[in-house]
Amino acid sequence: MRTLLRFLYRYHFFLVFLTLEIIAVTIGFRYNKFQQAAFVKFTENISGYFNEKISAFTDYFSLVETNRKLAFENAALKNQLQRVYRSDELFFFSEEDTLYRQKYFFTSARVVNNSIHNMYNFLTLDKGREQGMRPEMGVISTEGVVGITVGVSQNFTSVMSLLNKNFHLSARLKKNNYFGSLSWDGVDYLHAQLTEIPHHVDIHPGDTVITSGYSAIFPEGIPIGVVEKAELRDASFYTASIRLFTDFKHLVYVDVIGNLKKEEQRNLENRFHD
């Protein structure tokens, strides 16, 4: 206590001066519009500087996650290449190839436009007819299904997003192969609905949903999402809420899938299927 009193006595002139300065500055800012504007501008500049640094810091560490996804995808593609191609011929074969019987080919594209808040959402890709794009090709991300190509110009492609009320896809439960119809109800970009699953099927939260392979657009086994809940409708079929794997808010690059034998399959089905 004695030390504190000694300190106050020794520096009391300075402390009084500092107090008066603070009061003067406060009054100046409170009643002087010009000073207020200058102070606000100063604080905004400081805030903007630190926000910029924080954003750069966050972007840097997001590269770790991006690199992880790329590494995972590269590993998966290498495994596919080992199964589908000879190890010394890592390229795609034409439809007339009779030796390797390849059915699908993949090409990457960048998303240049994307919507998620409408009832009928679409994406635009930076590749078109000149790069081999065609309507009715499947589009996927590193996480799962994205949509289907519907329109192609010389250098761009329009994609009907999974987040489109006109989108329908045959999907199945990975654990037991029972399939149904996947669609979007327009509520939120994180969930879709799987319907037409028979009432006797074992379905629980956490079950993985994948493409069935019953269309000529998507191969079998492409991830879609996981079951969050399932309810019986009309005591005959389940309607399940599926949390989607694909984060449609952060799509940058996608893969487009072409089926080399799609026309042959479609022609046969049109001839003999009702």
pLDDT tens digits, 61-84: 566 566 656 655 654 564 455 445
Report which of 195, 177, 196, 174 is spatially closest to residue 241, judged by C-alpha positions: 195
Please name the residue that has the structure tokens 């037991």.
176
Whole-number Cα distances in Å, 6 to 1, 2, 10, 16: 9, 6, 6, 15
Q: Which helix (H) or strand (E) holds 266?
A: helix 262-272
Which structural domains are found in the chain, ordered by start? 102-272 (2.40.10.340)
For residue 79, count other CB atoms closer than 10 A to its CB.
10
Average pLDDT value for residue range 134-154? 94
Q: Quick check: 116 and 147 in contact, CB under 8 A?
A: no
- β-bridge mates for residue 197, sequence order: 238
Q: Quick check: 85 and 158 in contact, CB under 8 A?
A: no
Q: What is the pLDDT of residue 90?
A: 38
- In this prediction, residue 45 has a pLDDT band, given cuts at 50, 70 and 90, of low
Q: Is pLDDT larger for residue 179 or for residue 67?
A: 179
Q: Quick check: 162 and 148 in contact, CB under 8 A?
A: no
- β-bridge mates for residue 161, sequence order: 147
Measured between alpha carbons, how far is 66 from 270 in angstroms, rounded to an integer? 43
**CB contact set of 117 (below 8 Å; sequence gap of 6+):** 189
Please name the residue that has the structure tokens 């996947």.
182
Q: Is the pLDDT of residue 120 over 90?
A: yes
Q: What is the pLDDT of residue 214?
A: 86
Q: Per DSSP, which regions of the chain are E strands?
A: 104-114, 120-125, 138-140, 145-152, 157-164, 168-173, 179-183, 191-198, 208-211, 223-233, 237-244, 253-259
Q: What is the pLDDT of residue 273?
A: 67
Q: Are strands 253-259 and 138-140 parallel, antiparallel or unpaired?
A: antiparallel
Q: Quick check: 180 and 233 in contact, CB under 8 A?
A: no
Q: Is pLDDT larger for residue 28 or for residue 180?
A: 180
Q: What is the pLDDT of residue 216?
A: 82
